[in-house]
Structures are given as structure tokens and as C-alpha cells.
Amino acid sequence: MSQPVVHIANLNLKYQQKPVLQDLNWTINRYENWLLCGTSGSGKTSLAKAIAGVDHSYGNIKIEFNAQSNLPATVYYVANWFQFKDLEGQSNFYYQQRYNKQSTETTATVKAELESFGKKNALQFNEVDSILAALGFSELKHSTLIQLSSGEHKKLQLVKAIWLKPQLLILDLPYNGLDTLSRQNLNTLLEEISEAGTQLILISNDEELPSCLNRFAVIKEGQLVEISADERTGNEFDTLDQAVPAFLAEATVASSSAEIIKMIDVNVSYGDKRVLKNINWEVKAGEKWVLQGHNGSGKSTLLSLICGDHPQAYANNFHLFGNKRGSGESIWEIKERIGLISPELHWYFDPSATVFQSIMSGFYDSSGLFCDPGYSKKIQTDELVSYFGLDEYKNTLMNELPLGKQRLALLARTIVKNPELLILDEPCQGLDQQQTKHFNRLVDGLCKNGTTLIYVGHFESQLPACIEKRILLENGAVKSVENILENVENEASIENVENFEY
């Protein structure tokens, strides 16, 4: 029998005074690659950090590296959340800062960042290019870190990890924000490095996983429970499977204009780099759209124009809610009509707000709450707290919650004011499949009363049923605009279009 690589005996971990892991035992033998799945808050991330030595642990973790291997004798952890620093070592960035141009560069380029990582770990520079290409990152080499989207930051972390090929690699929710092709390529890369000797611990609730995984586990009541490959479906207690809260279901959503969005030859460029090219797009009140495209196709930039977050909105022929942008409206008048969730909104959200404050801040479109909203709004917020199953966490700070719970709070924030335009940019990141299904059903319910919807999702199987139109971007241009008909007959054609997607 081979020597265990990781041996954990009676590990106890507390998080905010609550025990998370209790006398947990786990042995990882050589050639084993583990999948760790299960509900949000069960302790997956805490366990991963303990193994990676990120957090203090109260128990016994032994890691036996292979002295014969020429791979680095180290545990490398790719977090579900990530930070980057500017040239002065600070990570003090703000929401949508990347769209506000400042002449002085304060962050390193991707190239410089990779060079310093490679040098520090004595890596072969000729190996990195193929990894960059596989993850669709080559063109971003000369971008600065501040310019990257959250999905692109995630990929950069993965590039580093795969380049390093540590003896033990722990990946926490690596697929978040990756498009279909990148996910497939990531799996191929993981299979390759596993072949070369890297052992994996992968934390994920996704379906399409690398074939090299050979052990599966969940954490239940603080203990590790091994399961079989087909047992790993989400079974989180889920309050989302209820009727839409009355105060949202009953209200009809009045649109302030028959035409919500009208873009005429919209362009966005940074220097010579064109990010959006001659976009023409009309969204009429009440329409339900899905916006798709590969990573870097321009989806986030397009949405940032609509949400009042991009300065180049002022330089384009672009109408929002019937008014030309830059005709004297404030971004707060625009945001008032929009319910937005996006990876970046989550990333930059005020971590020191409580769940209750965070949800209520949706009434004011602020990150954190800066005024007293009064009785009726508090009652409505309470209803959503319960609806999303967050009663227990109502007064907990966001940064004390696992990502999945934070995400539920922000979803509640998105809909709390029942806005006329809902922009849901990968709303279900970090949720399991069951929760995603239920949330999408909630979206269907909400949208019955005239709400206009723009939904970004990489997987066809994970879209709300009410979607009727699709816009597909490719390299910054509109590749196609089409109707999706709501009947059984056409379900097959939806499946077909899936191949379309990058």
C-alpha cells in the first residue's frame, strides 16, 4: 500500500465560535484525486485552507511529500475568492474602477505578474504559453491587472497553479465564471498535470469534471463522508422552492418607456484595443433576453454601459429608458430602475454590511446601507430574508458568511425593489444546481408582471424558462440575435445552439 500523502486525524475547526469541523479524519493516498462537494457552509473552504496552511488548525494534519518527485513539494491553494495588489502592495480597489481611466499605471501587467511568479518558483517560461492559449488568455498578456474582469482574474490564478504543478493542488470552485470551452480545456489541463504527478482536491458542485477524479466526499456535520460518483447531487435544504413573495408577485411593473435599451453603433475601446464594435441592439419593455458569449467577448462591458458604470457611455449614441445617455440624467436615476447582480458587484460589495443591510441597500443601489429606510421597506426585506432562508444570518456580516450564502443575500438585494429591468449576470455562481433551478423559477415568477430581463449564463440547461430572445457576442461584436420560442418542439433547437457557445 502506498504511503498517505495527507493524513488528517481528529481535526477540529471553529468559524466565528461555531464548530465547523469536528474530529474530522481524512487520508489521501498517492494517485488519488478527490472531489469535495456539498452544501454551502459545510466547511469545504475551511478544510481546504487548513490543509493549505492558510488558517490555523486545531488538530493534526500531516503532509508527506514525495521526495522522488521533481514536482514542487508544496500545497497550492486556488481560493474561491481572490485578491490582487497594485505596485505598492495595496489591494484597495473599488467597483468598476477598471473602466475609469487614469493615466498612471498602478498595477502590473499580466506578463510582468507571470514573470515574477515564474522567477520566484523557478518555472520554465516556455510552458506557460500553451496554458494561456488553452484558457483563452493569450491576448490579455499586456493588460494590467486592474483591467481584468473577475472571470479573468480567476483564470490567471488557474494559469499560475497549472504552470506550477505542485504535488498537491487544491481548487476551490474553479469553474465559476468560466465559459464552456475554458471549462473543457481546464479539465484537460488538470488531467494532464494529474498524469504528471500532481494530486488534486477539487471543490465544486458542477457536473462536468475532469476524468481523473477517483474519490468523492461531502462534509456532513463536521465529518468527511465518502460517497460514490453518482451520489453527488445537491440536496441542500432549500426555501427558494416556494411561491414568489406576495409583495413582489402582486405588483405590476410599470415600464418608464416602451424602449428600454437602444444602442446604435456603440463602440468602446481602450487605446487601440476595441472591446465593443458597432453594437446595435434594441430591448423593448417586457422582453426577456439571454446574453451570451465567450469569456472576453464583451458581455460585462456591454452591461456596464447599461448600468451607468462605464464612462464611455457618454461618447456613444445610446438610449436608456427612452432618454439619450448624457442628456442630464444621473446614474442614480438609471440604477433606480435596474436590479443588478454580477460577479463584480459581489466582489466589490461592502463586506462589513450585515445580511439585512445588504438586502435593504437594494432599495438605494448602494453597496452598504447609508440611511434609515423606514418600516415598510424593513418588512419587505424581512420577507426576503426568510424567503432566501437567511433568518439565522440576518445580522451576520457578509464577510463572515460562505460565498454561497453571500450570493443568496445579494440575489435578494437584486429583486427587493421589484425593478423594471433585471440584469442577472451569472446570478447563480456559487449556488448548487437545485438552488439554481429554484432561483430561475423565481425569476420566471417575477417576470410575469412586465419586468424586462437580461440574463447572462453559460449553460443552456441553467436558464429561466421565460427567456425568449438571445444575443450572442463574439470578440466584441454581435454575432447573432435570435428568438427562442417557448415550446417543446424547439427544445431540440436550443440544445443545438449550445454548441454554438464558446
Partner 1 sequence: MSNYFNTLPLREQLNQLGVCDFMDSAEFLDGVNVLKGKKLVIVGCGAQGLNQGLNLRDSGLDVSYTLRAAAIEGKRDSWKNATDNNFTVGTYEELIPTADVVINLTPDKQHTAVVTAIMPLMKKGATLLYSHGFNIVEEGMQIRKDITVIMVAPKCPGSEVRAEYVRGFGVPTLIAVHPENDPEGKGLAQAKAYCVGTGGHRAGVLKSSFVAEVKSDLMGEQTILCGLLQTGSILSFDKMVEKGIDAGYASKLVQYGVEVITEALKHGGVTGMMDRLSNPAKIKAFEISEELKNIMRPLFQKHQDDIMSGEFSSTMMADWAAGDKNLLAWRAATGETAFEKTPAGDVKIAEQEYFDNYTLMVAFVRAGVELAFETMVQAGIKPESAYYESLHETPLIANTIARKKLFEMNRVISDTAEYGCYLFDQACKPLLADFMTKVDTDLVGKNFNEGKDGGVDNRTLIAINEALRTHEVEVIGTKLRKAMTAMKSIKTA
Q: Contact residues for partner 1 (CB under 8 A)?
A: 85, 88-92, 94-97, 100-104, 308-309, 311-312, 314-315, 328-333, 348, 350, 352, 361, 364-370
Geometric angle at alpha carbon 110, from 104 and 116, rounded to 5°: 100
The minimum distance between CB 358 and partner 1, in angstroms, equals: 12
Helix (H) or strand (E) holding 26: strand 18-29
- C-alpha cell, 332: 442614480
Q: What is the smallest separation between the CB atom of 393 and partner 1, expressed in angstroms? A: 20
SS3 61: strand
Residues 6+ apart with CB under 8 A from 420: 253, 254, 255, 256, 260, 285, 337, 338, 450, 451, 452
**Smallest distance, Å, CB 319 to partner 1?**
16
Closer to partner 1 by Cβ: residue 18 or 56: 56
Which CB sits closer to partner 1, 284 or 319?
Answer: 319
Q: Which amino acid is at 443?
A: V
C-alpha closest to that of 182 among 145, 229, 143, 140: 140
Nearer to partner 1, 143 or 167 (CB): 143
**C-alpha to C-alpha distance for 403 and 390, rounded to whole angstroms:** 13
Angle among Cα 167, 173, 178 to the nearest 5 degrees reads: 105
Q: Which is nearer to partner 1, 42 or 342 (CB)?
A: 342
Spatial neighbors of 424 by CB under 8 A, at least 6 apart, are 341, 414, 443, 453, 454, 455, 456
Q: How far is the CB of 334 from partner 1 (least distance, A)?
A: 9
Of 451, 418, 137, 149, nearest in space to 309 by CA:
149
Helix (H, G, I), strand (E, B) or coil at 199: strand
- Shortest distance (Å) from residue 194 CB to partner 1: 33
Of residues 328 and 374, the one with the C-beta less far from partner 1: 328
d(CA 114, CA 468): 42
Minimum CB distance to partner 1, residue 89 (Å): 5
CB of 332 to partner 1, least distance (A): 8
State which residue, 350 or 501, has the beta carbon closest to partner 1.
350
CB nearer to partner 1: pick between 100 and 116: 100
* Least gap, CB of 83 to partner 1 (angstroms): 9
- Which has the closest alpha carbon to 117: 149, 159, 82, 180? 159
Cell of 485: 420560442
**Cα dihedral: 482, 484, 485, 491 (round 10):** 130
- The residue among 205 and 312 lying less far from partner 1, judged by its C-beta, is 312
